[in-house]
């Protein structure tokens, strides 16, 4: 009798096991026919049952169903994204249960190449199908100017493939635009790991984030030096290096890099400007002024070149006039006309550079105020009034009280 009871129990267990496998087969049939809600209910039940929950193929099928549900929903919203994330988690569970082996069995199926463009019934619905679907959704959201969701779909696709340069550059770019700087840096770092990829733009973005938002010039300098190792002839990275050396107060190193850069690029306006700045800071005012003027000559549309040249000429004028304060009355009477004339010559020359700067930035009220002050000093009443009227128009009648 006991043997009979045991046999009946075994028959019951076998019947139950076959029953659950039948549910899995039904889920697969409904998956293929597009009855996704029914397929999902069936595979969820199978994945919770002890008889089928230990089979990685159960989770592979569940991931396929989730992927198809993800792709069939064109809303591309946050809730749709969550389905995609769930599919990725299910694929990874199936892969781990199968021994994390991409070369055989379920693990191989998880990473089967996706056949983009073929009829739906021929697609493998692997994790790479999920990646491609997420990429398409990211493009859709980007084209609709929904940058935040575009980023998240790119991010999902990138989590699947850390070597896809298009995905990670797009994700990094969008994260930077959205001021998600830690996320941007994460994606750019993936790109730095890829030997054959042109990483220049990734280096540019990373340096800008570290030196700007992060206020980490040391980290930015390390990134620049890594970039210069990869791209020793890149002029933009050379400029960043000089800029960061100045920021880090490494003046001697900065000047050495400037001189080296000017050997190969003598008409680089921004490097000439930095050379002028270093000379000015070291007390070589004439050398600094000469380099500022060279920067303007190299690039007449370089606003900073005009501004720095004009500002240094103004500073020289003020210093000249201040020397009169320490003179005796007799010396003042003798030197005042001479020094005043020298100062006025500097004012006139400065005005020309500031006029060019204003032509490049016509709404720059700071430059207008400077030109008003210069022309007032030079008794050019008509010119001074011209700038006064413009400033009243832009800033109101009390513009002088606003700090300008």
Tens of pLDDT, residues 87-100: 999 999 999 999 99
* 362 within domain boundaries: no
* 217 within domain boundaries: yes
Amino acid 20: pLDDT: 61
Checking if the pLDDT of 29 tops 50, the result is yes
* 8 within domain boundaries: no
The confidence band for 184, taking pLDDT boundaries of 50, 70 and 90, is very high
Cβ–Cβ < 8 Å for 330, 380: no
Amino acid 59: pLDDT: 95
* 342 within domain boundaries: no
Checking if the pLDDT of 40 tops 90, the result is yes
Checking if the pLDDT of 10 tops 80, the result is no
Pairwise CA distance, residues 277 & 372, whole Å:
26
Amino acid 187: pLDDT: 98
Residues 71 and 203 in one domain: no
Checking if the pLDDT of 403 tops 80, the result is no
Pairwise CA distance, residues 338 & 349, whole Å:
17
Q: How far, rounded to the nearest angstrom, does the alpha carbon of residue 189 sit from its chain's CA centroid? A: 12
Q: What is the CB-side half-sphere exposure of residue 70 using CA atoms within 13 A? A: 31
Average the pLDDT over 251-268 and give the result. 90
Residues 236 and 255 in one domain: yes
Checking if the pLDDT of 313 tops 90, the result is yes
The confidence band for 402, taking pLDDT boundaries of 50, 70 and 90, is low
Residues 98 and 180 in one domain: no
Which strand (E) or helix (H) includes residue 37? Answer: helix 36-48
* 92 within domain boundaries: yes
Could you tell me which residues come within 8 angstroms of residue 180 by beta carbon, excluding any fewer than 6 positions away? 151
Amino acid 254: pLDDT: 87
Amino acid 11: pLDDT: 42
Cβ–Cβ < 8 Å for 374, 354: yes
Out of 120, 144, 160, a domain closes at: 160
Cβ–Cβ < 8 Å for 232, 224: no
Amino acid 323: pLDDT: 79
The confidence band for 2, taking pLDDT boundaries of 50, 70 and 90, is very low
The confidence band for 404, taking pLDDT boundaries of 50, 70 and 90, is very low
Residues 130 and 253 in one domain: no
Please report, for the domain that includes residue 174, its CATH number: 1.25.40.10
Checking if the pLDDT of 104 tops 50, the result is yes
* 255 within domain boundaries: yes
User: What's the number of domains the chain is made of?
Assistant: 2
Residues 50 and 181 in one domain: no
Amino acid 166: pLDDT: 97
* 318 within domain boundaries: no
Residues 186 and 142 in one domain: no
Pairwise CA distance, residues 339 & 211, whole Å:
43
Out of 105, 132, 160, a domain closes at: 160
Average the pLDDT over 372-381 and give the result. 93
Residues 113 and 181 in one domain: no
Residues 139 and 193 in one domain: no
Residues 26 and 50 in one domain: yes
Checking if the pLDDT of 141 tops 60, the result is yes
Average pLDDT, the chain: 90
DSSP structural state of residue 212? I
Q: Could you give the angle at which helices 2-33 and 36-48 cross, rounded to 10 degrees? A: 150
Give the tens place of pLDDT for each residue, 196-251: 999 999 999 999 999 999 999 999 999 999 999 999 878 889 889 888 988 898 98
Q: What percent of the chain has pLDDT over 90?
A: 69
Checking if the pLDDT of 23 tops 50, the result is yes
The confidence band for 17, taking pLDDT boundaries of 50, 70 and 90, is very low
Checking if the pLDDT of 111 tops 60, the result is yes
Q: Minimum mean pLDDT among 35-39, 82-86, 113-117, 155-159: which range?
A: 113-117
Structure-model confidence comparison of residues 239 and 2, the more confident one = 239
The domain in which residue 225 lies consists of 162-265
Average the pLDDT over 71-76 and give the result. 96
Residues 105 and 187 in one domain: no
Out of 240, 265, 290, a domain closes at: 265
Amino acid 19: pLDDT: 56
Residues 34 and 82 in one domain: yes
Helix (H, G, I), strand (E, B) or coil at 144: coil
Query: % helix / strand / coil in the chain, to the nearest 5?
Result: 80, 0, 20
Amino acid 161: pLDDT: 97
Amino acid 142: pLDDT: 98
Checking if the pLDDT of 8 tops 70, the result is no
Checking if the pLDDT of 178 tops 80, the result is yes
The confidence band for 337, taking pLDDT boundaries of 50, 70 and 90, is confident
Residues 30 and 128 in one domain: yes
* 361 within domain boundaries: no
Amino acid 7: pLDDT: 46
């Amino acid at each position: 009798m006991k043997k009979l009871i045991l046999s009946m129990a075994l028959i019951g267990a076998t019947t139950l096991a076959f029953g659950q496998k039948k549910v899995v087969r039904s889920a697969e049939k409904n998956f293929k026919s597009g009855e996704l809600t029914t397929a999902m209910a069936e595979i969820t039940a199978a994945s919770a049952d002890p008889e089928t929950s230990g089979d990685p193929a159960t989770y592979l099928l569940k991931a396929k169903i989730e992927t198809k549900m993800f792709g069939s929903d064109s809303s591309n919203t946050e809730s749709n994204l969550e389905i995609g994330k769930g599919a990725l988690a299910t694929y990874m569970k199936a892969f781990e249960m199968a021994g994390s082996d991409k070369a055989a069995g379920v693990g191989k199926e998880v990473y089967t190449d996706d056949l983009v463009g073929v009829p739906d019934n021929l697609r493998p619905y692997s994790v790479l199908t999920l990646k491609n679907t997420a990429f398409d959704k990211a493009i859709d959201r980007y084209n609709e100017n929904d940058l935040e969701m575009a980023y998240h779909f790119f991010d999902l696709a990138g989590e699947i493939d850390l070597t896809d340069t298009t995905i990670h550059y797009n994700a990094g770019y969008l994260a930077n635009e959205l001021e998600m700087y830690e996320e941007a840096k994460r994606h750019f770092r993936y790109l730095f790991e890829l030997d054959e990829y042109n990483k220049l733009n990734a280096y540019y973005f990373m340096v800008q984030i570290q030196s700007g938002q992060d206020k980490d010039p040391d980290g930015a300098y390390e990134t620049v030096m890594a970039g210069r190792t990869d791209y020793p002839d890149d002029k933009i990275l050379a400029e960043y290096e000089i800029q960061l050396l100045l920021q880090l107060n490494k003046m001697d190193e900065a000047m050495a890099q400037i001189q080296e850069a000017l050997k190969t690029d003598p008409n680089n306006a921004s490097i000439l400007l930095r050379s002028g700045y270093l000379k000015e800071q070291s007390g070589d005012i004439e050398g600094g002024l000469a380099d500022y003027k060279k920067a303007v000559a190299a690039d007449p549309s370089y606003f900073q070149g005009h501004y720095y040249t004009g500002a240094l000429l103004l500073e020289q004028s003020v210093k000249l006039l201040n020397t009169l304060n320490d003179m005796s009355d007799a010396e003042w009477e003798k030197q005042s006309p001479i020094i005043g004339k020298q100062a006025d010559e500097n004012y006139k020359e400065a005005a020309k550079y500031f006029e060019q700067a204003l032509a490049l930035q016509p709404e720059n009220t700071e430059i207008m105020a400077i030109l008003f002050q210069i022309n007032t000093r030079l008794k050019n009443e008509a010119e001074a009034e011209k700038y006064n009227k413009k400033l009243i128009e832009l800033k109101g009648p009390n513009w002088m009280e606003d700090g300008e």
